[in-house]
Structure 1
């Protein structure tokens, strides 16, 4: 009799508790279904965009309602085919793979473009993603040829790949923190060809960046300018941050991702240490918003009324999934999941009625030039999709 009473009481308590939560549970399920439908709709916008080698989608202006398109020479050109490759991995839908093949072909001529350091962004985001899926031998050849072109920008006495050619009268030999991302192409070129030259140059560039790009608090300068004769540092400035000494959010993201990736290929503990120190600066910053999506620059005096940068959040969150694998630091995975949950909401997903081949809003491109402000940008989507794949895997 006693046991029956206890069971009855427990049942009644559970019934009351579940009844109280029933409404909110239904709302949560409804919201999840709504968000998934919204994401699927955004994916279809990419699939339905007309194929045009001269009109590769780069960004969308929410004010003018215009889609900014570029040719293959633009540093962002590889991300759109990369997004299609990743959507194929996420959905298994052959239509995404077929479209990815078409768009990727438009980027191939860039393998001979020695006038840019952005070979990794262009080639590895497109052909690299494609090679991982298809094992197409031609894709492998394009990756290696692109690496051959990229290393022509390496200067031995500086120990770095040159970033930009413009402003040459002011910047003798500029190297930007973004350039860390292009090292993946070189590491992969060695892995698939067996030729160590690419790996060795990537390591030298990473070591030079490690030595000169970081402040005592482990925030990074955007641009370090070198003397081509002595190889020494001439100046440390910014091109896209708030000022020369500010912490530009996407710059911090490139550094975290870049050194995590370098550790993957080298197992050198100093790269892991820098990735963790850079991550600590970012994650522990007093001005990092609660939802994990940073303002475009941590030192913008207009915070909390400054614009955010979804692309920076996506890059960091994706990198920290990998960094978690090397460290088992739960703080990294916690942040990645927080960002994923934030971005998978109506606050950040583009509304269903906008006819643009993008997924997320609220990225910021170039604040000093008031260019691509607070809108969808293709690389924000790329690292968001990579984040989802990494967490899924």
Structure 2
């Protein structure tokens, strides 16, 4: 008992010290840990094909290019280049980004935006050669082949025999629209933008409840666009609020307001933010349980990846609202980042298989990727840190 009390006291002391640090110091320390961790991860996989996604029984799990998460590892390498200026990260990012290129022609996958924007999109933004632009445009052209104008949405998953779905659309798909908005500007072809806005408008009508929370899956009739069902796949129940789903919605409508400047997108992003920030089952450290309605709260698994996505989205959303509300968004995101930067969630150098964040949840109903690191959690964590750093630079 005495040892337990001492351990808890040490953890509390470390958390209090971390909370007292200026955010500039927290960010600097986080990136120092990130460079050490990802150096180890690169060494561990250098002779193996694929992209590190998570840990499976303590071993790094590698996935192929068709996995929806394939772009996040090279995307994280681009963020490390942006944060440090060390050209070794550029070389690694270029190598792994090249491996994602085949996704540009994959018409079976609605996550082309996730895969290419995080890798080739960041590379192009950080000075990669013009061939990255061609890859992104090809990917956008591939993505719009999954759009049905009668539904007004991009089909997420292909029809499966084990599900009574005919045209399933998931809230995650909002994240793929950024590639289309970029493509409309880069090519001068408005069709990409029209598809993205149609999808965002359709999701706005059908994916959300009056309190701002979202369903995970909405299934449509492809013949007439009517809604057949509103269900979940990765959440606790059809009517529950799956935490990462709420994060995707918040990020997606914040991004679409940036790109399209439609007031209803901004209003909706604020509504989602209110649902998340004011939820009575949001823990004190602001790292949500995997589902806000999980029946075993407070013993339910957390999802650090959802917290990282939320923090990044809130930091951007703060730029589009009046100052007092923007300050609240920044303060909430800061709480999340401080928690994720604490020893409870951030790996100590040399552990966690080289990944950064611990305690993420991938697919709880399938008993898959529970209480593990996830590559997209790391990606959005570093993105949020960079966004906070940019705010500090602006004073």
Q: Same fold (TM over 0.5)?
A: yes
SS of the residue 1:365 aligns to: strand
In structure 2, C-alpha distance between the alignment counterparts of 1:202 and 1:27, rounded to whole Å:
40
2:40/2:350 contact within 8 Å kept: no
Would the aligned equivalents of 1:53 and 1:72 in 2 still touch at CA under 8 Å?
Answer: no
Q: Is the 8 Å Cα contact of residues 57 and 357 (structure 1) preserved in structure 2?
A: no
1:86-105 map, 5 Å: 86-105=79-98
CA offset at residue 124 of structure 1?
A: 0.6
TM-superposed CA distance for 1:53, in Å, is: 7.0
Contact persistence 1:39–1:349 (CA under 8 A): no
Output aligned runs, 1:244-255, within 5 Å. 244-255=238-249
**Structure 1 partner of 2:167:** 173
- Aligned counterpart for 2:140 among listed residues 140, 147, 165: 147
1:111, 1:35 → 2: CA distance?
A: 33
Could you say which residue in structure 2 is the equivalent of 1:216? Answer: 210
1:207 aligned residue (201, 204, 207): 201
Question: What is the TM-score when the length of structure 1 is the normalising length?
Answer: 0.89
Question: What residue number does 1:133 align with?
Answer: 126
Structure 1 pair 286/48, CA: closer, same or farther in 2 (3 Å)?
A: same
Relative to 1, partners in 2 of residues 1:235 and 1:53: Cα closer, same or farther, differing over 3 Å? farther
1:105-142 C-alpha deviation (Å, 9 max, x unpaired): 00001100000100011011100010000142100000
User: What is the CA–CA distance in structure 2 between the aligned matches of 1:44 and 1:107, rounded to whole Å?
Assistant: 20
Q: Distance in 1 between matches of 2:226 and 2:19?
A: 60
Question: Residue 319 in 1 paired to residue 313 in 2?
Answer: yes
What is residue 344 of structure 1 aligned with on the other side? 341
Distance (Å, rounded) in 1 between the aligned partners of 2:118 and 2:18: 40
Deviations 1:285-326 (A, max 9, x none): 000011110000000010000000001000010001110000
What is residue 179 of structure 2 aligned with on the other side? 185
* Gapped regions of structure 1 (runs ≥ 5): 1-23
**Correspondent of 2:328 among 317, 327, 331:** 331
- CA-CA distance at 1:55 after TM superposition: 2.2
Distance 1:27 1:387, change over 3 A: closer
Aligned to 1:6: none
Aligned to 2:379: 382
Corresponding residue of 1:265: 259
2:51 paired residue number? 56
Alignment CA distance shift 1:221-1:101 (3 Å): same
Give TM-score, length-normalised by structure 2: 0.89
Q: Structure 2: how far apart are the matches of 1:34 and 1:273?
A: 35
Return the alpha-carbon distance in structure 1 between the equivalents of residues 253 and 30 of structure 2: 33
**For residues 328-380 of structure 1, what are the alpha-carbon distances to aligned partners after superposition, in whole Å with 9 as ceiling and x for unaligned?**
32111001111111111111112323262311111100000010001100000
Q: What runs of 5+ residues in structure 2 fail to find an aligned partner?
A: 1-15, 391-395
Distance 1:66 1:293 in 2: 25
- Aligned residue for 2:280? 286
What SS does structure 2 have at the residue aligned with 1:374?
strand
Report the CA distance between 1:209 and its aligned residue.
Answer: 0.2
* CA deviation string 1:190-219 (max 9, x = no partner): 121111110110000000000000011110
- On the 8 A contact 1:53/1:71 being kept in 2, the answer is no
C-alpha displacement of 1:66:
1.7
Give the aligned partner of residue 368 of structure 2: 371
* 2:360 aligned counterpart, secondary structure: coil
Larger Rg: 1
Label 1:177 to 1:36 Cα distance change in 2 as closer, same or farther (>3 A). Answer: closer
CA RMSD, 1 decimal:
2.0
**1:26 Cα offset (Å):** 12
Aligned with residue 72 of structure 1, among 65, 82, 85: 65
Cα distance in 2 for residues equivalent to 1:72 and 1:261: 25
Q: Distance in 1 between the 2:299 and 2:207 partners? A: 29
Query: How far did residue 46 of structure 1 move?
Result: 3.7
> What corresponds to 2:235 in structure 1?
241
Question: Which residue does 2:11 correspond to in 1?
Answer: none
Q: Is the 8 A contact 1:174 1:224 kept in 2?
A: yes
**d(CA) in 1 for partners of 2:71, 2:110:** 14
Give secondary structure in 1 for the equivalent of 2:60.
Answer: strand
Equivalent position SS for 2:371 = coil
Give distance in 2, aligned partners of 1:242 and 1:25.
36
In the alignment, what sits opposite 1:9?
A: none
